[in-house]
Structure 1
Amino acid sequence: VTALPGSGAPAGALVLVRSARAGGRPAADAALVSDFAFRAGMALSTAVLYAEQAHTAAVLRSGLDPAPLPEVPGVRLGAAYRPAPDALGFGGDFYQVEPARDGCGGVKFALGDVCGKGVEAAVLSGHVRQSLRTLALVESRPLRVLDVLNQSLLEADSGRFASLVMGAARPGAQDTLDVVLAGGGHLPPLVLRRGGTVEAVDVGGMLVGALPDAEFGQAGVRLARDELILLYSDGVTEARGGPTGAEEYGAERLAHDLAGCAGMPAGAIAERIALRVAEWLAGRAHDDIAVLALQASSSSPSSPGSSGAAGAPR
């Protein structure tokens, strides 16, 4: 009987049976058994450790994956999310959409990007998302929400910060959608008009969690029926690929591809943009990618399939 060495405790035991007529165990056999037991013990310990890590990653991922998009009258939604390949399935980019609870209809939304990658970025992303949900219960003013979130991140003293754009979209008269945006150092959202014209919305603002006296920006947009506003992370515009493999996808190419989506529903547009970026990357490594589209529609609930599924194929 030979113990199988493990991490802090034996991983098991190796039991060998020898015929009584074979006599004592030769030294060569003893060395072989010892070597085999060591290798088997290490293999078993590694397998157990890997299984524990895989379970932990799965639990974290289930809590950090974007929630399914809601169906809300007057708003058509779409989204796409692609974590970086080396991020264990979760990263620092995020989006979230929830029905407004103030009785006025519409949705509240946010899309952000925390600094860093992998598990550390995912932890901060989870903190920001949970803080936004909690603040939404007691505060409806987007700028005030950003002020409180900024203070919360500074008090956490993690040395990390985030870019963020958030706001509310409320159905108006004649199937319009009124969108109020508040921003903290994030890329400008893009508006797709009916004729295929694309407009950038300069929300402005400073990074959230970087400075005690940060100032944040605000802007408003009115969308006619079928017009859309697109929020995205820098994983889209900074995706490097193309003929040389080093050229960025860029804001101009994004606007051009978005213009070609006029007339499409929000879910299809979000996936189309994610597909265009994937084609540009051509299998190369990339940062986290998050896309969120909000579109004005009729006051009837969104039809099945009009919303992009959260946690889309990665």
Structure 2
Amino acid sequence: MLQNSLLPPRLPRLAGMTLAGGYRAAGDSLRIGGDFYDLFPTPDGGLFALGDVCGKGVGAAVLTGRVRQSLQTLRLVEQRPRELMALLNRALLDAPDAARRAQFTTLLLGALSREPDGGLLIRVAGGGHPAPMVVRTDGRIEAVRVGGMPVGALTGATFAEAEVRLAPGDVLLAYTDGVTEARGGPTEPTMFGDARLRQALASGAGLPPAALVDRVLQLVDEWLDGQPHDDIAMLAVTTP
């Protein structure tokens, strides 16, 4: 029951949007880890979170649960991504075990809203997390450079925000570094890397989110070829 409560949730339906998530835990016996995604409906559309807690296993999963529960509560009073991230940072640092825990989280928070022309406007706040990728229908790949500092590490942490528009059929993919840092390959262990990720996304242009996520997971699994790996989480969104 505890493991199930910490696993990524079944994504709710959002009007005019299609979303899909992907998840792999690092441990062989545990299904839980430090990578996560979540999605909350809002009056304007939705609010997504995707993050990576430092560490692995049960300890990381406990902080993952704390982050998700805090977001569940804080988003009731604040839904602007950068401001919500600042509130989360305060909440994590105010916890009684914050000094002893010495853990932090890299995080993306994104506000999703439909536009009159059928497109999708996404405001993304960054907390030291890898840049999400936009897959255009013509195969172009664009990184959404956000930046910011990890959450739960410093009281004076600063967070950044960027804005991106998706035309119908474009996909935004947020992912954790377990994808690009997966070590494998046909000869000696090499990281999967940004270039292979971009190639995988470009060749999957036009696929719906679930198929694109499955494609990336399959290519990473093939690259690993059974080798140990870090936690992996992905979240993809489009407007049909």
Structure 2 length-normalised TM: 0.96
Instruction: Give the deviation of 1:211 after TM superposition.
Output: 1.1
- SS at 1:111 equivalent: strand
**Contact 2:27 2:57 survives alignment (8 Å):** no
Q: Could you report, residue by residue, the CA deviation over 1:69-95 in whole angstroms, capped at 9, with x for unpaired residues? A: 122221111111010134611000000
Q: Which one has a larger percent helix, Structure 1 or Structure 2?
A: 1
- Off by >6 Å, runs of 4+ in structure 1: none
Aligned-pair RMSD on alpha carbons?
1.1
Percent of residue pairs bearing the same amino acid type? 50
Matches within 5 A, 1:101-120: 103-104=43-44, 106-120=45-59
Give the match for residue 61 of structure 1.
Answer: 3
Distance 1:87 1:187 in 2: 27
Q: Could you report, residue by residue, the CA deviation over 1:120-143 in whole angstroms, capped at 9, with x for unpaired residues? A: 000000000011111111112211
Distance 1:145 1:183 in 2: 11
Give the match for residue 268 of structure 1.
Answer: 211
Distance 1:69 1:212 in 2: 32
Are residue 206 (structure 1) and residue 145 (structure 2) matched? Answer: no
Are residue 183 (structure 1) and residue 122 (structure 2) matched? Answer: no
**Contact 1:245 1:281 survives alignment (8 Å):** no
Matches within 5 A, 1:141-180: 141-156=80-95, 157=98, 158-180=101-123
Instruction: Give the deviation of 1:98 after TM superposition.
Output: 2.0
- SS at 1:173 equivalent: coil
**Contact 1:74 1:177 survives alignment (8 Å):** no
Distance 1:85 1:284 in 2: 12
**Contact 1:86 1:118 survives alignment (8 Å):** no
Alignment gaps of 5+ in structure 1? 1-58, 298-314
Query: Which has the greater radius of gyration?
Result: 1
Distance 1:189 1:79 in 2: 14
Aligned-partner residue type, residue 108 of structure 1: L
Distance 1:152 1:210 in 2: 11
Distance 1:236 1:108 in 2: 23
Instruction: Give the deviation of 1:146 after TM superposition.
Output: 1.0
Alignment gaps of 5+ in structure 2? none
**Contact 1:196 1:260 survives alignment (8 Å):** yes
Instruction: Give the deviation of 1:244 after TM superposition.
Output: 2.5
Distance 2:17 2:107 in 1: 21
Distance 2:19 2:29 in 1: 26
Q: Which one has a larger percent strand, Structure 1 or Structure 2?
A: 2
Instruction: Give the deviation of 1:288 after TM superposition.
Output: 0.4
Distance 2:10 2:188 in 1: 34
Give the match for residue 8 of structure 1.
Answer: none
Distance 2:108 2:80 in 1: 13
Instruction: Give the deviation of 1:254 after TM superposition.
Output: 0.4
Distance 2:229 2:122 in 1: 31
Q: Could you report, residue by residue, the CA deviation over 1:256-275 in whole angstroms, capped at 9, with x for unpaired residues? A: 10011111111111111111
